[in-house]
Each structure stands twice: as C-alpha cells, then as structure tokens.
C-alpha cells in the first residue's frame, strides 16, 4: 500500500506544530476525519475499511515516524506519532523552512496581510493570491509549482491575523 501522501501530510503537520510550539521529544496525536483520509487514497472506504487499509501503516512508517498507532472512533481517526517520530521530523527540518518563517511572521502579532503576501511572493516558486468573499477568510494563497500543495487561508481579525492551511481536496470540499 502506498502511504506516501499521508506520510508527507503527517510530517508537514508535525513541522507546523514544532514551528508554532517548539520542539519537544514527545508523542503527538493528530486527528483526521475519514473524508480527508479518503482523499489521500482516492477511495470511498467506510471507517472500518479505512482502518483495514491502514493496517500496514505502522510497519511502513517504522523507519521514519516510528511505531505509529492508528485508531478510530466513528469517522474520526487518531494517529499517535511516538517520540522517535517527532525527533525524526525535527532532525529533518531545514533551518530556513517556509512554514517556520510564516509562523514567525504571524506570531509577531504585528504582521500585515501585505507582509504575508510578500513572504509568499519572495519564494522561488510562483504563487496565486486570491481575495476571498467569505466570512471565514479574507485571502487564500497557494503555490502553483513545487512540493507545497496547501491552500493557505488568512483572516485579519483586527488585532492579529490567523491562518489555516488545507489540502486542495479539503479546500474544495469545504466550498471556500
């Protein structure tokens, strides 16, 4: 079974968490709705079928993320990444990782939407910036080339800017 998309997403989420909270050698729990997992595998599995599909996931991740545990309750899946997995991600993270610069900028609480746009535009790959007509977000930015598939959605809440990033399939499904 090819778990490459899910593995990349788990690693990306751990990198984002470490950029926001700092690194600690500790287990991490990441939760996914069934529908998001279906996107990784291009399938229509039930929750139990997805659990079966993921039965070899821990073995497949043993050299990178360690002995990952996968459980579910209803349509909600939990991936427990052990300490060795968070250490692996930490040691693989590049010093000048984009997500770290974005989190640092947003975390300053003085960031402007113009600074955020400039950060994206300064990258080596082109991006698209779209103003959104939504109560939830003001701007969506995504790269059109490279290995960052996420749609970054930003909301200026007056005293600070928040963001969420979505995989393209989840973004489309949410109808943003």
Query: DSSP letters along 28-62, please?
Result: EEEEEEHHHHHHHHT----HHHHHHHGGGHHHHHT
102: enclosing H helix or E strand: helix 98-107
Contact 98, 104 (CB under 8 A): no
The candidate with the shortest Cα–Cα distance to 95, out of 15, 28, 13, 24, is 15
The pLDDT tens digits along the chain (176 residues) read: 789 999 999 999 999 999 898 888 899 999 999 999 999 999 999 999 999 999 999 999 999 999 999 999 999 999 999 999 999 999 987 766 899 999 999 988 789 999 999 999 999 999 999 999 888 999 999 999 998 999 999 999 888 899 999 999 999 988 76
Instruction: Name, in order, each residue with C-beta under 8 angstroms of 13's C-beta and a sequence gap of 6 or more.
Output: 30
pLDDT of residue 119: 96
Give the model's pLDDT for residue 175.
78
Stated pTM of the model: 0.89
Whole-number pLDDT of residue 97:
83
Residues forming a β-bridge with 152: 141, 165
């Amino acid at each position: 079974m090819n778990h490459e998309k899910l593995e990349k997403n788990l690693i990306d989420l751990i990198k984002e968490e470490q950029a926001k909270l700092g690194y600690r050698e500790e287990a991490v729990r990441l939760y996914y709705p069934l529908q998001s997992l279906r996107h990784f595998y291009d399938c229509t599995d039930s929750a139990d079928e997805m659990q079966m599909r993921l039965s070899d996931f821990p073995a497949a991740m043993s050299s990178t993320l360690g002995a990952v545990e996968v459980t579910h309750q209803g349509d909600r899946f939990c991936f427990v990444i052990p300490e060795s997995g968070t250490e692996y991600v930490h040691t693989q993270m590049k010093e000048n990782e984009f997500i770290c610069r974005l989190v640092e900028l947003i975390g300053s609480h003085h960031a402007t939407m113009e600074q955020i746009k400039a950060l994206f535009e300064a990258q080596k790959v082109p991006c698209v910036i779209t103003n959104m007509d939504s109560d939830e977000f003001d701007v969506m930015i995504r790269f059109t080339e490279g290995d960052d598939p996420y749609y970054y959605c930003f909301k200026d809440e007056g005293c600070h800017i928040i963001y969420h990033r979505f995989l393209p399939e989840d973004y489309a499904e949410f109808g943003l």
